[in-house]
Amino acid sequence: MNNNNIPKIDEIDATIIKMLLAESRTSFTDIGKACNITVGAVRMRYKRLWKEGIINGEVMLVNPHCLGIRHIVDLGIVTEPEDEEEVARYLEGKPYVSQVIKHLGNYNFYGKAALRDLNKLSEIVEDLELNPKIARVDTLIWAEAVNVEFPENLVIKPLPPSSCKIYKRPALTNIDQAQIEIDDIDRKIAVILSKSSRTPFRQIAQELNISTKTVIQRYKKLREYLLPRSTITVDPNKLGYKALAGLIVKLTNRSKMTEIYNQLLEIPNVIVIIRILGQYDLWVCIALEDIDKMFEVRQKLNKISGLDKPEVAITPMVKSWPLHLFSSLLESEAMPKYYEEKQGKKSANNRKK
């Protein structure tokens, strides 16, 4: 790994990133107190972290279940290499396939479907496989699409691994919960914050021609269900992480799910765990500084009783994380056709203090 292109950060920079990954609306005043520096010094460091591309977004993650989306399904599409262009054109005409990327693991294309009714899945698979150029479509059904990312488990050097928060398995999500009732004002506030989570309440109030008090009241309600996490996004490559290991895990005994889940979260840089339905039980993502780190990860996995040997796919690291997959559902029934790694980078000026 070439470290020459990695910006140098110190413990204060790392602490700022950690605090904002945990809650992007943390005030510069609170950060300054935690780091024992002035508000002005925090502001200067924050702007520099943006300029260097380490921080590249301020977002609120959207809970799609609150919008009536019951199931997120990964679609792994297999074709011959010489047929990829034709299949790509075919997928363009299929509105139910979104967030498409090429070449993930054993798949030529990997996309997602957001479904209100799981019965639609068989129709989707049959429709795709009608194309003679598509050899096979594999599906991976998410058991839930909220509380699956753990940004505070990312080790940000020079802070030690012990600086990571020790997570426990989140409470199960009720995917059958009734779609929450939100009006036009709620939706507009959610759209603004999902794209720019540090936007001051007063600025939102002026934009929507309502009182600041109303914005704060609506915000508190939205944070309970629709906007469960407020975070910055970072470029893990700029923090020294060059690869992402995706593990599909099967448990030998599902009654041990909580215990195994918690043991996985004790492994540094386990940043995503998604419960899945069917033959496998968990989809786990681990940030790697280099491929050699996978050997250390395997040693830790081997110490967890109840895990079958996982299937592993190692891919280049994404350029923006946590992933911000579902914000478009606030404004549309569909997610973007292709996965965009950058979520709309903008200036760090005029941030909420």
pLDDT digits over 133-184, tens only? 999 999 999 999 988 999 989 999 999 887 776 667 666 666 566 678 899 9
User: Which residue range(s) make up the domain with 291?
Assistant: 242-316
Q: How confident is the model over 254-298, as pLDDT tens digits?
A: 899 999 999 999 999 999 999 999 889 999 999 999 988 999 999
In 23-159, which ranges are continuous DSSP H helix? 28-35, 39-51, 84-92, 120-129
Q: CATH number, domain at 87?
A: 3.30.70.920
| Final residue belonging to a domain, choices 120, 144, 168 | 144
Domain closes at, from 123, 144, 165: 144
For 6-65, what is each residue's pLDDT tens digit? Answer: 899 999 999 999 999 999 999 999 999 999 999 999 999 999 999 999 999 999 999 999
How many structural domains is the chain composed of? 2
The C-alpha atoms of residue 280 and residue 85 are separated, in whole angstroms, by 31
Report DSSP state, residue 172: P
What is the longest distance spanned by two Cα atoms in the chain? 64
**CB neighbours of 348 closer than 8 A, spacing ≥ 6?**
46, 47, 49, 50, 51, 55
Whether 311 is covered by a domain: the verdict is: yes
Q: Are 124 and 256 in contact (CB under 8 A)?
A: no
Task: Give the DSSP letter string of 29-55.
Answer: HHHHHHHTS-HHHHHHHHHHHHHTTSE
Between CA 133 and CA 86 the distance in angstroms is 8
**What is the C-alpha separation between 115 and 73, in angstroms, rounded?**
8
Domain-located, residue 249: yes
**What is the Cα–Cα distance from 8 to 52, expressed in whole angstroms?**
10
Instruction: Give the single-character DSSP code of 113.
Output: E
**183, HSE (Cβ side, Cα atoms, 13 Å):** 3
- Residue 349 in domain: no
Secondary structure class of 246 (helix, strand, coil): strand
Contacts 24+ apart (CB under 8 A), 252-256: 252/306, 252/307, 252/308, 253/306, 254/281, 256/305, 256/306
In a domain, 85, yes or no: yes
Q: Is residue 160 part of a domain?
A: no
pLDDT in tens, 68-80: 999 999 999 999 9
- pLDDT confidence band for 340 (50 / 70 / 90): low
Task: Establish if 46 belongs to a structural domain.
Answer: no
Rounded CA-CA distance 25/17 in Å is: 12
pLDDT band at residue 5, thresholds of 50, 70 and 90? confident
User: Quick check: helix, strand or coil at residue 244?
Assistant: strand
Residue 52 CB contacts under 8 Å (≥ 6 apart), including other chains? 7, 238
Alpha-helix runs per DSSP H in 280-351: 293-302
* Each residue's pLDDT tens digit, 84-103: 999 999 999 999 999 999 88
Q: In the structure encoding, which two tokens stand for residue 198, read together?
A: 């540090």
110 forms beta bridges with: 76, 101
352 domain residue, yes or no: no
Distance CA 283, CA 142 (A): 9
b/e per residue 331-345 (b: at least 16 CB within 10 A): eeeebeeebeeebee
For the chain, the average pLDDT equals 90
* CA-CA-CA-CA torsion sign (124, 125, 126, 131): positive
Rounded Cα gap, residues 27 and 46, in angstroms: 12
Q: What percentage of the chain reaches a pLDDT higher than 70?
A: 91
Would you say residue 288 lies in a domain? yes
Q: What is the pTM of this model?
A: 0.90
Neighbour count for residue 87 (Cβ, 10 Å): 20
Continuous segment of H or E residues that includes residue 134: strand 134-142
